[in-house]
Amino acid sequence: MASIFTRIINGEIPCYKVAENENFIAFLDINPLTEGHTLVVPKIEEDYIFDLDDKTLGDMMAFAKKVAAKIKEVTACKRVAIAVLGMEVPHAHMHLIPMNSEGDVDFKKARPEVSKERFAELTAQLAIKE
């Protein structure tokens, strides 16, 4: 059975896509820790990020670096954190989280409510054209 991320990649489930190339997609997390929290996902369905071959993992990091630079520019955060958890969805992915303090990367904290309009605005601002 395809993961929810594969279904997003295939266009079966909508997302707030900010970047895409032939191998990866980046879209806003719909339950963000901070505004601009983005997921980077390989288009191949692999459960564990460290099971990706070295080239794919390196290319994923280079793709994420471009997305993180745009997040930093748009959100004016101090840094963009990267988190790799991988327990909630059985498809390798990275979280890119705008942060001004380490507390911004606490997955147990209350999440901000973000309207559909704000998600659309952030998507437009963060969009990267390859």
Are β-strands 79-83 and 17-20 bridged in parallel, bridged antiparallel, or unpaired? unpaired
Are β-strands 24-28 and 79-83 bridged in parallel, bridged antiparallel, or unpaired? unpaired
Report yes or no: 18 and 38 within 8 Å, Cβ to Cβ: yes
Sheet holding 17-20, edge to edge: 17-20, 24-28, 38-42, 94-99, 79-83
The residue from 37, 91, 93, 95 that is catalytic is 93
Q: Which two tokens stand for residue 29?
A: 């997390």
**Is 93 among the catalytic positions?**
yes
Residues acting as catalytic residues: 93
